[in-house]
Amino acid sequence: MLISDLSLFKVAFGIVRDNSDLIYKGFGFKHLSDVTKYYLHPDNRSKKAQTSLCQAIGEACALFLDFVKSYDHNKSEGGLFYNKDADDYLIKFPIPFDWHDNSVYDKNISFYIVRVKKHDITLCAYDSEGNMIPTDADCIDKGDGVEMQTPKSQETQLLELYKICSSFVVLLSKDFLSVNDIETDIYDFLNTPNAEKFAILCEDFYQTHKYAKYQIKYADLKGLKTNAYVKFSIENETPRETNNILIKKFADIDFSVAQKELIPNLSEEFRLDGKLVSICNAITFGDIKSILLHGPAGTGKTISCKLICQSVGLPVMETVNCTENLDEFVLGKYIPENGEIIFKESFVTKAVRDGGAVVFEEINFAKPQYLAFLNSLLDDNGFVRLDNGEIVRRHKNFRFFATMNVGYFGTKQLNQALYNRFNAIVEIAQLSDKAVERMLVFRVPECKPHVQKILNVYHKIKKKIETEELDIVISPRNLENWARLAKYEGYVQAAEKTIIPVAKCDRLLEKNFRSVIEIYKWD
């Protein structure tokens, strides 16, 4: 039995179980539930710009999550096999008893074997004795044994929910092993299961396959040899950085009451990037005393510094913008006081003396002569020499953070000797659409109905800048300014003062930006 060129993911939205439209283990979501408030994928092209869940996809995700949670590669009754070179994946998974008890799967079905090789899916259901369940009739448990219904058409048999759901399970297992975003979604959910993460997994899975067509075949797979496959083992996988790693904080006695008041306390809008978790512990234990974060404008480099400090309980004693505040008096200066000229040390020097963090923003904008003191400060035996001749030794709890944009007008190449003194140098990538959306909606709630259009404009302008290698930058800050001003004069007019100026008075480019904005309706 074979169905060819089936748009499996499109067809699934028209299929629902006869006994319920609820997605089992789906946080109360139903078939076609609108979950746009949780997530809208960047590739979502629905006319209403909304995310709807599909029962078959949702239950496949829930079933696969159950499989991963209980997975033991040593057990013979289940397994996940793959041959990535041949684009060939095989999964044997049992149907948990609760899925039977809640009438999601027929009680006669004990397990499935499903294989996907490129775009060919072969599947088969088996009973508890390991016998193949035929497809020429449907099994119904009436309490006193299994009875057979009237045979259905081939397509109806293969597209019935419990069979199409199993096709999704093998595709999800393939994505788990080969698609980073899906793998991340699954581990994120397993670490902290909630409705939002479930919706994100379902939508990312759908968007990965929505245009694909498959050949689906129902056939016995018990005789398939697995010699050419590798059996998946969690123990053999590369260790993953996850947000549930325990972060070690500084001790309560490490800082004074006044210093502890300077420990950042950022809102829920901001979340620590998972790849910075290990950095946190290295900072606490003193293996990292200086760190440089670099990346494009608007990616949250300074916020990342403060999130690290918040996570480890480290006060931020001073934040210095090197384009404005860094001068020859960065460590302190002589000032008149009570008829005398005294030396008053800066907050940077206080941090060096008593502990705490300082953050130098956009350090490669600074004049090199004003950064010379960092060579001795960040050396193994760190110290600074003040203008009054005093030498201040670096406190054991002093940490130095710096951020910089690379390749922007006005920046300078960082001195190699200084660059080499950083214990860690981390590139902060462009913010994801999820992060930008979360930031915009949190800071300007009124923009929520238009946030997808704002992101679309952002991507189109960015693509124009990148394609033509223009010496201009559009960042999430521009989007925030746009959304804030739009509250008072609408999005089209507000763009004239926040988005169009990104073109730096290039009239042709300004016209192009306006045409991008005018594509959308801004009610």
Considering the domain architecture, whether residues 141 and 191 belong to the same structural domain is answered as yes
Predicted local confidence at residue 520, as pLDDT? 85
Q: Which of 407, 427, 447 is the last residue of a domain?
A: 427
Considering the domain architecture, whether residues 184 and 67 belong to the same structural domain is answered as yes
Predicted local confidence at residue 143, as pLDDT? 39
Pick the residue with more confidence: 350 or 188? Answer: 350
Q: Number of folded domains in the chain? A: 3
pLDDT tens for 395-418 read 999 999 999 886 554 456 677 888
- Flag whether 396 is in a domain: yes
CB 270 within 8 A of CB 303: yes
Considering the domain architecture, whether residues 414 and 444 belong to the same structural domain is answered as no
Q: Which of 395, 427, 459 is the last residue of a domain?
A: 427
Q: 88-94 and 111-117 as β-strands: parallel, antiparallel, unpaired? A: antiparallel
334 three-state secondary structure: strand
Reply yes or no on whether the pLDDT at 199 is more than 80.
yes
Considering the domain architecture, whether residues 6 and 103 belong to the same structural domain is answered as yes
- Flag whether 109 is in a domain: yes
Considering the domain architecture, whether residues 190 and 319 belong to the same structural domain is answered as no
Predicted local confidence at residue 137, as pLDDT? 44
Considering the domain architecture, whether residues 395 and 501 belong to the same structural domain is answered as no
Kindly state the percentage of the chain with pLDDT values over 70: 88
Predicted local confidence at residue 237, as pLDDT? 43
Confidence grade of residue 149 (pLDDT, cut at 50, 70, 90)? very low
Considering the domain architecture, whether residues 179 and 121 belong to the same structural domain is answered as yes
Residue 38: phi and psi, rounded to 5, are -90, -40
Q: How far apart are CA 314 and CA 29, in angstroms?
A: 42
Average pLDDT score over residue span 32-42 = 88
Confidence grade of residue 204 (pLDDT, cut at 50, 70, 90)? very high
- Flag whether 246 is in a domain: no
Predicted local confidence at residue 275, as pLDDT? 76
Q: Which of 171, 202, 234 is the last residue of a domain?
A: 234
Reply yes or no on whether the pLDDT at 161 is more than 90.
no
Predicted local confidence at residue 242, as pLDDT? 40
pLDDT tens for 478-494 read 999 999 999 999 999 99
pLDDT, averaged across the chain: 84
Predicted local confidence at residue 355, as pLDDT? 95
What residues contact 400, with CB distance under 8 A and at least 6 apart? Answer: 289, 290, 291, 357, 358, 360, 374, 377, 378
Predicted local confidence at residue 235, as pLDDT? 40
CB 293 within 8 A of CB 359: no
CATH code: domain of residue 262: 3.40.50.300
- State the CB neighbour count (10 A cutoff) for residue 26: 21
Confidence grade of residue 2 (pLDDT, cut at 50, 70, 90)? low
Reply yes or no on whether the pLDDT at 140 is more than 90.
no
pLDDT tens for 282-300 read 999 899 999 999 887 777 8
- Flag whether 244 is in a domain: no
Q: How far apart are CA 451 and CA 457, in angstroms?
A: 10
pLDDT tens for 5-35 read 788 898 899 888 888 999 999 999 999 999 9
Confidence grade of residue 144 (pLDDT, cut at 50, 70, 90)? very low
Considering the domain architecture, whether residues 84 and 10 belong to the same structural domain is answered as yes
Considering the domain architecture, whether residues 172 and 302 belong to the same structural domain is answered as no
Considering the domain architecture, whether residues 136 and 285 belong to the same structural domain is answered as no
Q: DSSP letters of 118-175?
A: TTEEEEEEE-TTSPBPPSSS-EEE-SSSEEE-----HHHHHHSHHHHHHHHHHHHHHH
Considering the domain architecture, whether residues 152 and 265 belong to the same structural domain is answered as no
Selection from 128-142, 143-157, 412-426 with the highest mean pLDDT? 412-426
- Flag whether 514 is in a domain: yes
Q: Describe the crossing of helices 451-467 and 476-498 by its angle, rounded to 10 degrees.
A: 90
- Flag whether 242 is in a domain: no
Predicted local confidence at residue 115, as pLDDT? 94
Reply yes or no on whether the pLDDT at 60 is more than 90.
yes
CB 64 within 8 A of CB 169: yes
Considering the domain architecture, whether residues 335 and 305 belong to the same structural domain is answered as yes
Pick the residue with more confidence: 72 or 73? Answer: 72
- Flag whether 315 is in a domain: yes
Reply yes or no on whether the pLDDT at 141 is more than 60.
no
Burial environment of residue 15 by CB neighbours within 10 A (0 to 12, 13 to 18, 19 or more): middle
Kindly state the percentage of the chain with pLDDT values over 90: 40
Reply yes or no on whether the pLDDT at 347 is more than 60.
yes
- Flag whether 363 is in a domain: yes
Poorest-pLDDT segment among 418-422, 431-435, 514-518: 431-435
Predicted local confidence at residue 34, as pLDDT? 93
Which has the closest alpha carbon to 476: 429, 425, 411, 417? 429
Reply yes or no on whether the pLDDT at 89 is more than 70.
yes
Residue 308 lies in domain: 252-427
CB 252 within 8 A of CB 427: no
